Homo-oligomer: A and B are copies of this chain.
């Protein structure tokens, strides 16, 4: 039964990992998997997986485990990946190029629908099958119903781009620069800071 208690942020973060695991198991033709077996693969504890999934309803069958394809489908719905999600990529530099062709997005039915940059040298060129467009024309994406953006620009330009994105109606930003973006509360930002992770590594060295 679906609970109304608040779902922990950490649980949400793990859901894509579960989805990946269930998708892979489905491709291998496995019909069921127990929390214990899955925990072995993902290097988590079994109760954590059970509790995480239970926040969204009763996924499993006692004595049997979790039905692989059905659970994968339900997690896709939870993450809104049952419908193809379009995203816009800002920045066609080296990082943007890498992102544009990142194979990991495809598995999630994730689709980069447009690429923007501010460099005249890049505008008009092709990248991953898309024509790089002028960032000044960004407001045009409003009609395309794109709600997500991936921001792969230097940190100096990050805030300016973020403001443009918000004005263009974007609802979520994946920020790959080490800067904090000031956006309205309705817009969700997730930042990945390479140096931050590297620092962790160095300390424990």
Contacts and interface: CB of A to CB of B under 8 A. Distances in A.
A101 B102 CA distance: 18
Interface stretch (A58-66, A90-98, A129-137, A159-167): A90-98
- In the assembly, how many copies of this chain are there? 2
B95 A16 contact: no
Contact of A196 (B17, B155, B200, B201): B17
A176 to B, nearest CB: 9
Contact of A203 (B12, B108, B155, B192): B12
A104 B173 CA distance: 20
Contact of A79 (B93, B107, B203): B203
**Range class of the A interface residue count:** 35 or more
A104 B195 contact: yes
A95 B95 CA distance: 7
Interface string A8-29: 0100111111011000000000
Contacts of A81: 199, 202
Contact of A172 (B97, B173, B195, B201): B201
